[in-house]
């Protein structure tokens, strides 16, 4: 009768300290590569320094931005998103966070501080009102562009000043506030 024998584990002749160092180094390299992939293609964190998005996002909040989101969906009005500013400030183009209020082909107008899209008054309970008498437009958003405004309309340098945002400048969709703990939650 033939008996099957299981192979025995071979004991390593390598120094256990050296083996632990190699194992730790390979785990560290894998963690760095994974973190880089996540940061580059999946989710990035942003610190918010200004009040241009107040009531929704406060100065000092930290938010998560899904960088992959617009690879699968088109940007739409109401989305909060991060993009590269079309203007140089100093020697760089900072990342900005705003709300999309209109996309290519839509007509936007601000009358006496109230927003109209395609001549329809918008219900925006999340905004802080603009100053009375604030007017802009009418303006038709060009194809492949986005019109962005801050929720704090009277304190936001947005598409009314910097122009429409090219879709190629979009970094991703902001979806979650994770700091400070009392503001933890989904962005709407």
Domains and CATH numbers, the chain: 42-186 (2.10.109.10)
Contact yes or no for 103/120 (Cβ under 8 A) = no
Contact yes or no for 180/84 (Cβ under 8 A) = no
Which residue matches tokens 């894998």?
A: 30
Catalytic residues: 52
- Model pLDDT for residues 21-79, shown as the tens digit of each residue: 989 999 999 999 988 888 888 899 999 999 999 999 999 999 999 999 999 999 999 99
- Model pLDDT for residues 139-178, shown as the tens digit of each residue: 999 999 999 999 999 999 999 999 999 999 999 999 999 9
Query: Which residues, other chains included, contact 97 with Cβ-Cβ below 8 Å and sequence gap of 6+?
Result: 46, 48, 52, 53, 57, 63, 80, 81, 82, 174
């Amino acid at each position: 009768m033939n008996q099957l024998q299981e192979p025995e584990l071979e004991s390593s002749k390598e120094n256990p300290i050296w083996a632990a160092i190699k194992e730790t180094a390979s785990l560290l390299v894998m963690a760095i590569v994974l973190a880089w992939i996540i940061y580059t293609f999946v989710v990035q964190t942003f610190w918010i320094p200004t009040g241009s998005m107040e009531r929704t996002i406060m100065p000092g909040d930290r938010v998560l931005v899904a960088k992959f989101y617009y690879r699968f969906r088109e940007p739409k009005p109401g989305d909060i998103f991060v993009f590269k500013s079309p203007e140089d400030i100093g020697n760089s183009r900072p990342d900005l966070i705003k709300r999309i209020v209109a996309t290519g082909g839509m007509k936007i107008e601000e009358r006496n501080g109230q927003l109209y899209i395609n001549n329809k008054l918008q219900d925006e309970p999340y905004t802080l009102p603009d100053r009375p008498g604030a007017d802009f437009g009418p303006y038709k958003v060009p194809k492949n562009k986005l019109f962005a405004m801050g929720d704090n309309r009277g304190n936001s340098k947005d598409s009314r000043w910097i122009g429409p945002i090219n879709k190629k400048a979009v970094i991703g969709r902001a979806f979650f506030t994770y700091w400070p703990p009392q503001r933890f939650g989904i962005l709407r």
